Structure 1
Amino acid sequence: MLVLLAFIIIFHISSAALLFVATIDSAWWVGDQFYADIWRICINDSNCTEINDTYSDYTTLQAIQASMILSTVLCCIAFLIFLMQLFRLKQGDRFVLTSVIQLMSCLCVMIAASIYTDRRQDLHEKNFFFYPEQSSSEGRYGYAFILAWVAFAFTLVSGIMYLILRKRK
């Protein structure tokens, strides 16, 4: 049982770490001369511009930003509630509250990555990135975007594990 508990804790911490990296790092969309995330665009590794309300899809990016932040916060809250329930629940009870919060985190990261995927497709058709000088067809999805989808899978599995898990001796 101790090994299972250690595995669950490590799995949850790695899920939170993936969410932090996917939210903060600047590699959602990369090209030869630029890279972009949900916060800024950098050209030639030196000319970085914060994404603000002057960009055409700023409200969409705000939704992505909010969803990623919310998923990270919910994942951390779920971990704290799990630790609290670990010592407070009586034997035989399930970690339902932890599961629900972790599944909400899963839903938020899925929404953010799905919106980003959808908006990327629209911008490909227009051959326009957030920066008018850059062609979006020159780029590709970066590792932070891929980590967001991996974090989705991890939080989904973690949420289901908590739903199934019963407190035992």
Structure 2
Amino acid sequence: MLVLLFFIIAFHITSAALLFIATINNAWWVGEDFSVDIWKLCLNNSSNTNCTDITAEFAEYSTLQAVQASMILSTVLCCVAFFIFLLQLFRLKQGERFVLTAVVQLMACLCVMIGASIYTDRRQDIHNNNFIYEKTSEGSYGYSFILAWVSFSFTLISSLMYTILRKRK
């Protein structure tokens, strides 16, 4: 049981770390001389990198705000689920399930799915309408975007694990 508990804790911490990296890192859409995330655009010249924050003056800013909000909410919910799990670990009676932890983790899963889905659906609108930089339509999805989808599957799996898990000796 102790090995299972260690595996569940490590899996949850990995999910939270993936969410943090996907939310913070600047690699949702990358090209040869630029990288764009949900927060800023960075242009890479031969000598330096020039980063510009994405603000309300850009078209499709409200779309990126929805992605920002859902990714932040998913990260916060994943961390809250971990603390609820730790509290339930010591407070639940033997044989009870970690239902509250599973529900909060499932909400984190849904939030990351919503954020990544909005970005997937609206990516062409964001990058093809001279949103920030005319050459951003010539890029590809970066590793932060991929990590967002991986963290979706990790949070879904961990919410299912918490649903099935019973407190045993």
Please give the TM-score of this superposition, normalised by the length of structure 1: 0.95
AA in 2 matched with 1:146: I
- Which position in structure 2 is the counterpart of 1:64? 67
Equivalent of residue 98 in structure 1, options 97, 101, 107 = 101
Aligned mates of 1:76, 1:113 — CA distance in 2: 19
> Once the 2 structures are TM-superposed, how far is the Cα of residue 135 of structure 1 from its aligned partner?
4.0
Offset, 1:130 = 2.5
User: Distance between the aligned counterparts of 2:146 and 2:82, measured in 1?
Assistant: 23
5+ long unaligned stretches in structure 1: none
Write the distance in 2 (CA, Å) between the matches of 1:4 and 1:110.
Answer: 27
Which residues in structure 2 correspond to 1:69-80 (within 5 Å)?
69-80=72-83
Correspondence 1:146 to 2:152: no
Percent identity between matched residues is 72
Aligned length: 166
Please give the secondary structure, in 1, of the residue aligned with 2:129: coil
- RMSD of the TM alignment (CA)? 1.2
Contact 2:60 2:126 in 1 (8 A): no
2:17 counterpart of 1:17? yes
Q: Is the 8 A contact 1:78 1:98 kept in 2?
A: yes
Tell me how far 1:123 sits from its aligned partner: 4.4
Detail structure 1 runs of 4+ shifted over 3 Å in the superposition: 121-124
After TM superposition, the score normalised by the length of structure 2 is 0.95
| DSSP-derived class of the 1:134 partner | helix
